[in-house]
């Protein structure tokens, strides 16, 4: 095909795959089986080994140069303290780290250690941050008993405190919808910010949050793969990889995602210091976040904060793969349903009534 | 020769189109299939609730096909054993006159007076145990047996895990709270009250 290489005109590459791809799988891999074509690139490779146009290249370079310049100036300066040098070093390494999803266990450990150290240097407080991966034989599922929920909102309280959500914009992952009896599940007429004694006469209550779909549309639309479904079914976000385009927010049919329009503010004494990289660690401005079924708790065997906080026992959480788990009993013995099942999103969040 | 090469190329191309990788679709049609298939390979997990339950005194019960832990109760009752005061039958104790009043503030708000009074559950002659409707004695640790005499539907759900809460953690071993951990047996209903949170920011945004 020397003819092709020598051509001197410009042509658009409209779906014409390169020659070698004809003999391979459509995923572009020439060897190995389909489905296993994710190459583990990390760190510098992920940042630099991508095609980009001039504008994004300049953006990347400027951002990196700023940090680099800062790092160089502090590390070369004789007067700068060791702390500042270390901070600059951490910033540098954090800027060029890879996507968490592709990191090895050691790399995850390293980034978590950096973040803990960074927090220590900045705030003088020590947090504990986990990078615990999904455990084998676990698939998390959730059931919500509509007849039990009284609308007390204790779950919302517990969630905000557990997950270090922005107090300024009063971000909340959970919404409790107050619905009129006899109107069905009418979300248009439901009130999710009531303030009167509950339960109100002639109303029932229904909670929504991220449903951790097994076929999550939010993951599909993410242009940078900053959000994905973990092996234990949790749909998580790498806050450091998210570019804040909010496609996922638009794609979610359940209003499950939240965006940080401003820098999240949590009073220092209220910060939950038991954190997970994919969970409740401090976010920054311009990134998405959402319910993670309290990954920092659930992967340690605890219930999500909302489950423990609910005074009426309307919330049931457990391992869908364990045939003896209570969540399995609920699914097999109660009349359960999910929201918008026809979309094929396969939420792992079921509703039932007594 | 050229023709054959082209033909092969076309055949390969169509094979490729029709057998294209399903990129992000999972191998299961839906979540129910996935749960069913994958739980066949389930051999337990390394995650356990044991460390969370360490400090809590529990006892194992078996109800039907379910075996699980419930919190021990007697140790939680402030003045158990009851016979430390109730040394003589209640009728005689009341006759004695000048005695210290205890649990005088208990008001029974449970069913109605035709259905229930104190001795529906308590036995004035054997205060250390509860008693069933037929007069059999029931241990204070197993007060759920008392509730299940009437609340059969709730009892079924509780045994399976659809009613009530876990003591701590989702992982095995299962430890479920028992009836009296959430319901006051003398006044078991949930009260109406103000929600614990109100989002003022949301109100502003909607204005």
Do A157 and B202 lie within an 8 Å CB cutoff? no
CB proximity A175 to B under 8 Å: no
Pick B163's closest partner by Cβ from A156, A313, A327: A313
In whole angstroms, how far apart are CA B68 and each of B34, B63, B71? 27, 8, 10
Query: What percentage of chain B has pLDDT greater than the value 70?
Result: 86
Minimal C-alpha gap between B5 and chain A (Å): 13
Under 8 Å CB-to-CB from A207, ≥6 apart: which residues?
A144, A149, A155, A174, A175, A176, A177, A314, A315
Is there a contact between A319 and A138 (Cβ–Cβ < 8 Å)? yes
**Contacts across the A-B interface (CB distance below 8 Å):** 172
Residue scoring higher pLDDT (B21 or B88):
B88
Pairing of strands B66-71, B130-131: unpaired
Residue B81, preceding peptide bond in cis (omega within 30° of 0)? yes
Residue the block writes with tokens 């204005």? B207
Do B195 and A151 lie within an 8 Å CB cutoff? yes
Pick B169's closest partner by Cβ from A22, A193, A303: A303
Q: Is A19 exposed, middle or buried (0-12, 13-18, 19+ CB in 10 A)?
A: exposed
Instruction: Quote the ipTM score.
Output: 0.85
Residue scoring higher pLDDT (B32 or B98):
B32
Pick A301's closest partner by Cβ from B52, B157, B192: B52
> What number of other Cβ atoms are within 10 A of residue B129's Cβ?
15
Is there a contact between B57 and B71 (Cβ–Cβ < 8 Å)? yes
Which of the residues in chain A have pLDDT under 70? 1-52, 56-58, 68, 70-80
**Three-state secondary structure of chain A:** CHHHHHCCCCCCCCCCCCHHHHHCCCCCCCCCCCCCCCCCCCCHHHHHCCCCCHHHHHHHHHHHHHHHHHHHHHHHCCCCCHHHHHHHHHHHHHHCCCCHHHCCHHHHHHHHHHHHHHHHHHHCCCCEEECCCCCCCCCEEEEEECCCCCCCCHHHHHHHHHCCCCCCCCCCCCEEEEEECCCCCCCCCCECCCCCCECCCCEEEEEECCCCCCCCHHHHHCCCCCEEECCCCCEEECCCCCCCCCHHHHHCCCCCEEECCCCCCCCHHHCCCEEECCCCCCCCCCCEEECCCCHHHHCCCCCCHHHHHCCCCCEEEEECCCCCCHHHHHHHHCCCECCCHHHCCCCCEEEECC
Provide, as residue numbers in chain A, all residues whose Cβ is less than 8 Å from the Cβ of B161.
316, 318, 325-327, 329-330
Residue B142, pLDDT above cutoff 50? yes
CB proximity A196 to B under 8 Å: yes
Under 8 Å CB-to-CB from B58, ≥6 apart: which residues?
B69, B70, B71, B72, B167, B175
List beta partners, residue A173.
Answer: none
Q: What is the pLDDT of residues B43-67, one digit of tens each?
A: 999 999 999 999 999 999 999 999 9
Confidence bin at B12 (pLDDT 50/70/90): low
> What number of other Cβ atoms are within 10 A of residue B160's Cβ?
19
Provide, as residue numbers in chain A, all residues whose Cβ is less than 8 Å from the Cβ of B206.
193
The pLDDT value given to residue B93? 78
Provide, as residue numbers in chain B, all residues whose Cβ is less than 8 Å from the Cβ of A326.
160-162, 166, 174, 176
Edge-to-edge order in the sheet of strand A140-145 = A315-319, A140-145, A349-352
Is there a contact between A247 and A231 (Cβ–Cβ < 8 Å)? no
Minimal C-alpha gap between B7 and chain A (Å): 13
Is there a contact between B127 and B102 (Cβ–Cβ < 8 Å)? no
Pick B199's closest partner by Cβ from A151, A170, A354: A170
In whole angstroms, how far apart are CA B76 and each of A139, A156, B71, B73? 35, 30, 9, 5
Provide, as residue numbers in chain B, all residues whose Cβ is less than 8 Å from the Cβ of A318.
161, 170
Is there a contact between B108 and B186 (Cβ–Cβ < 8 Å)? yes
Provide, as residue numbers in chain B, all residues whose Cβ is less than 8 Å from the Cβ of A173.
none
Query: A205: closest CA among A225, A181, A228, A229?
Result: A181
CB proximity A9 to B under 8 Å: no
The pLDDT value given to residue A83? 85
Do A348 and B24 lie within an 8 Å CB cutoff? no
Do B52 and A302 lie within an 8 Å CB cutoff? yes
Minimal C-alpha gap between A223 and chain B (Å): 14
Q: What is the pLDDT of residues B70-125, one digit of tens each?
A: 999 999 888 888 888 888 877 787 777 666 777 888 899 999 999 999 999 998 88
Provide, as residue numbers in chain A, all residues whose Cβ is less than 8 Å from the Cβ of B167.
none
Pick A27's closest partner by Cβ from B23, B195, B200: B23
List beta partners, residue A128.
Answer: A274
Q: CA-to-CA distance for A60 and A63, rounded, in angstroms?
A: 5
Do A25 and B21 lie within an 8 Å CB cutoff? yes
Q: CA-to-CA distance for B35 and B55, rounded, in angstroms?
A: 33
Q: CA-to-CA distance for B205 and B201, rounded, in angstroms?
A: 6
- Global pTM reads 0.81
The pLDDT value given to residue A80? 62
Pick A220's closest partner by Cβ from B13, B24, B34: B24
CB proximity A220 to B under 8 Å: yes
Do A321 and B44 lie within an 8 Å CB cutoff? no
In whole angstroms, how far apart are CA A236 and each of A48, A290, A318, B127? 25, 8, 18, 54
In degrees, rounded to 5, the angle at the alpha carbon of residue A54 between the alpha carbons of residues A48 and A57 is 35
Which residues 102-141 of A are in CB contact (within 8 Å) with B?
Answer: 135-139
In whole angstroms, how far apart are CA A25 and each of A19, A38, A50, B10, B26? 12, 13, 21, 15, 17
In whole angstroms, how far apart are CA A325 and each of A230, A299, A319, A330, B44? 21, 16, 6, 9, 11
């Amino acid at each position: 095909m020397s003819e092709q290489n020598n051509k001197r005109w410009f042509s658009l590459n409209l779906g014409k795959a390169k020659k070698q791809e004809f003999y391979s799988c459509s995923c572009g891999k020439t060897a190995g089986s389909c489905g296993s074509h994710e190459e583990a690139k990390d760190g510098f490779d992920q940042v630099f080994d991508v095609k980009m146009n001039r504008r994004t290249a300049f953006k990347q370079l400027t951002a990196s140069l700023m940090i680099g310049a800062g790092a160089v100036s502090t590390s070369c300066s004789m007067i700068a303290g060791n702390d500042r040098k270390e901070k600059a070093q951490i910033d540098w390494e954090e800027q060029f780290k890879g996507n968490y999803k592709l990191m090895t266990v050691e790399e995850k450990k390293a980034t978590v250690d950096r973040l803990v150290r960074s927090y220590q240097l900045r705030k003088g407080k020590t947090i504990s941050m986990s990078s615990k991966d999904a455990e084998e034989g676990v698939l998390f599922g959730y059931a919500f008993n509509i007849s039990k929920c009284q609308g007390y909102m204790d779950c919302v309280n517990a969630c905000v405190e557990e997950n270090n959500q922005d107090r300024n914009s009063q971000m909340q992952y959970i919404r409790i919808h107050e619905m009129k009896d006899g109107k069905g599940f009418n979300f248009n007429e439901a009130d999710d910010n009531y303030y009167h004694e509950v339960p109100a006469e002639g109303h029932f209550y229904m909670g929504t949050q991220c449903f951790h779909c097994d076929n999550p549309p939010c993951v599909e639309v993410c242009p940078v793969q900053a959000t994905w479904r973990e092996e234990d079914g949790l749909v998580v976000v790498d806050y450091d990889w998210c570019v804040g385009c909010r496609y996922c927010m638009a794609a979610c049919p359940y209003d499950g995602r939240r965006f940080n329009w401003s820098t999240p503010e949590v009073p220092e004494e209220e910060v939950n210091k038991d954190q997970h990289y994919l969970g409740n660690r401090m976010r920054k401005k311009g990134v998405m976040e959402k319910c993670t079924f309290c990954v920092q708790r659930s992967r340690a065997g605890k219930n999500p904060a909302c489950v423990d906080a609910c005074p009426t026992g309307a919330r049931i959480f457990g391992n869908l793969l364990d045939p003896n788990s209570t969540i399995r009993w609920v699914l097999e013995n109660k009349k359960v349903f999910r929201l918008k099942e026809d979309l094929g999103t396969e939420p792992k969040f079921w509703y039932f009534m007594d | 020769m050229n023709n054959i090469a082209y033909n092969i190329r076309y055949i390969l191309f169509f094979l490729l189109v029709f057998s294209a990788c399903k990129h992000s679709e999972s191998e299961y049609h839906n979540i129910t299939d996935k749960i069913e298939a994958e739980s066949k390979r389930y051999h337990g997990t390394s995650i356990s609730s044991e460390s969370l339950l360490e400090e809590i005194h529990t006892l194992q019960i078996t109800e039907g096909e379910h075996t699980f832990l419930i919190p021990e109760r007697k140790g939680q009752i402030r003045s158990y054993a009851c016979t430390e005061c109730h040394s003589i039958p209640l009728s005689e104790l009341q006759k004695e006159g000048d005695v210290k009043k205890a649990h005088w503030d208990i008001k029974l708000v449970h069913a109605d007076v035709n259905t229930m009074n104190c001795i529906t559950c308590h036995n004035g002659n054997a205060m250390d145990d509860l008693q069933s409707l037929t007069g059999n004695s029931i241990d204070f640790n197993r007060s759920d047996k008392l509730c299940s005499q009437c609340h059969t539907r709730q009892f079924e759900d509780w045994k399976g895990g659809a009613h009530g809460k876990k003591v701590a953690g989702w992982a095995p071993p299962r430890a479920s709270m028992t009836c009296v951990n959430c319901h006051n047996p003398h006044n078991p209903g949930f009260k109406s009250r103000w929600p614990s949170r109100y989002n003022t920011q949301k109100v502003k945004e909607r204005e």
